[in-house]
């Protein structure tokens, strides 16, 4: 089976001006994938526009109407989240694009896929858009997997540098979705403490790994292998959704991490070892070179392209994460055999 990609011209019409989350991000990605001949080796997934009822699986109807009205007058959902007249349509196609990718995987037409969509989504809460996000694409896709395809265990891996507060709260009481997040802390939006581990029936199914600035390849891979792999293996996901933020890249202007481009491929390798069904969706990443190279590395893993992109770097000076890993394990030990 093949690897798919999602792209639609409407994503470029979400006009944010000179905002960090701008259309040039996708243009840079598509240019590099074309230059490297990667697109010819992938299957294009036709993005559909998500139905309002599909958005309502994760968002209040009144909020959806609010987003539409704000887009019509080209306003902003908050100080960080400007929108234009085409943003509502783009947001529907962003959620729908990931749904399309998920459907293709579940129908056996694709092995895995990467949805190159915008606006991003992981900060969007049930009735609040924020942090460049309108609708929570990955949460909507997770609900679609459960409701339409009958998937009982979904793992969401979120390696964006910012904590995905919207995704966390979407499933905070839901044991069928395991949410795993690595993120710089303290940093926007201020959520994602180790102790935020879910509630009610969902207690133990949120795993937060807040990291200090300065963590690079070595630290991230230690977290994934020592925390993610044992917990996820015990959870035994049927499907993995990845919120891929390239803003942990060493070049990113909005954060302070030191991850190199090639390491994103290693991240993806680790996820693929946990289950065969994997769909990635684009979140943050604001240095155009770092972003496009990171996406290339992810496709290199998903499609087995054997491109020479360099190896993860272990010999650079970076922040140690052993104390964070120890504290996360101590907390999660109440729920998992870690």
- Which domains are delineated in the chain? 2-332 (3.40.800.20)
State the pLDDT confidence band at 309, using cuts at 50, 70 and 90: confident
Instruction: Give the angle subtended at the CA of 32 by the CAs of 45 and 255, to the nearest 5°.
Output: 100
Among candidate residues 14, 123, 183, 249, the one labeled active-site is: 123
Q: Which helix (H) or strand (E) holds 177?
A: strand 177-184
pLDDT at position 311 is 66
Residue-by-residue DSSP string for 260-318:
-TTHHHHHHHHHHTT-S-EEEEE-----HHHHHHHHHHHHHHHHT------PPP-SS--
User: What percentage of the chain reaches a pLDDT higher than 90?
Assistant: 96
Q: What is the pLDDT of residues 153-164, one digit of tens each?
A: 999 999 999 999
pLDDT at position 317 is 80
Give catalytic status of residue 123 as yes or no: yes
Helix axis angle, 87-106 to 137-149, nearest 10°: 40
pLDDT at position 315 is 67
State the pLDDT confidence band at 205, using cuts at 50, 70 and 90: very high
* Mean pLDDT (whole number) for 242-271: 97
* Mean pLDDT (whole number) for 76-105: 98
User: What percentage of the chain reaches a pLDDT higher than 70?
Assistant: 98
- Token pair, residue 177, equals 């979705």
pLDDT higher than 80, residue 314: no
pLDDT higher than 80, residue 242: yes
The structure's pTM equals 0.98
Q: What is the pLDDT of residues 174-203, one digit of tens each?
A: 999 999 999 999 999 999 999 999 999 999
* Mean pLDDT (whole number) for 223-235: 98
* Mean pLDDT (whole number) for 257-271: 97
pLDDT higher than 70, residue 283: yes
- Where helices occur in the chain by DSSP H, the ranges are 24-35, 52-55, 61-72, 87-106, 137-149, 165-170, 217-223, 229-235, 263-272, 288-303, 322-332
**Cβ–Cβ < 8 Å for 220, 267:** yes
Strands 206-211 and 110-115: unpaired
* Mean pLDDT (whole number) for 298-305: 98
pLDDT higher than 70, residue 72: yes
pLDDT at position 71 is 98
Mean pLDDT for all residues in the chain = 97
């Amino acid at each position: 089976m093949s690897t798919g990609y999602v792209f639609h011209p409407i994503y470029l019409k979400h006009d944010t001006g000179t905002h960090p989350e701008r259309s040039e991000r996708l243009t840079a990605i598509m240019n590099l994938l074309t230059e490297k001949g990667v697109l010819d080796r992938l299957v294009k997934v036709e993005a559909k526009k998500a139905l309002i009822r599909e958005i309502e699986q994760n968002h209040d109807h009144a909020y959806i109407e609010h987003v539409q009205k704000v887009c019509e007058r080209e306003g902003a959902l908050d100080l960080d989240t400007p929108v234009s007249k085409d943003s509502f349509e783009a947001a529907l196609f962003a959620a729908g694009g990931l749904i399309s990718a998920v459907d293709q995987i579940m129908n056996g037409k694709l092995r895995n896929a990467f949805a190159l969509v915008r606006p991003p989504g992981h900060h969007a809460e049930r009735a609040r858009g924020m942090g460049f996000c309108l609708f929570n694409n990955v949460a909507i896709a997770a609900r679609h997997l459960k409701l339409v395809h009958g998937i009982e265990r979904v793992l969401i891996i979120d390696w964006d540098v910012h904590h995905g507060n919207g995704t966390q709260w979407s499933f905070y009481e839901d044991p069928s979705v395991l949410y795993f997040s690595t993120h710089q802390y303290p940093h926007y939006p201020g959520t994602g403490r180790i102790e935020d581990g879910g509630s009610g029936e969902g207690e133990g199914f949120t795993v937060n790994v807040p990291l200090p600035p300065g963590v690079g390849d070595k630290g991230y891979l230690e977290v994934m292998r020592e925390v993610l792999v044992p917990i996820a293996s015990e959870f035994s996901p049927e499907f993995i959704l990845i919120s891929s933020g390239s803003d942990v890249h060493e070049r990113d202007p909005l954060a302070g991490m030191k991850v190199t481009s090639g390491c994103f491929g290693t991240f993806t390798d680790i996820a693929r070892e946990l289950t065969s069904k994997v769909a990635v969706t684009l979140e943050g990443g604001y240095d155009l070179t770092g972003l496009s190279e990171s996406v290339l590395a992810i496709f290199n893993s998903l499609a087995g392209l054997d491109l020479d992109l360099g190896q993860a770097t272990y010999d650079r000076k970076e922040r140690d994460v052993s104390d964070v890993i120890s504290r996360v394990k101590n907390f999660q030990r109440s729920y998992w055999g870690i």
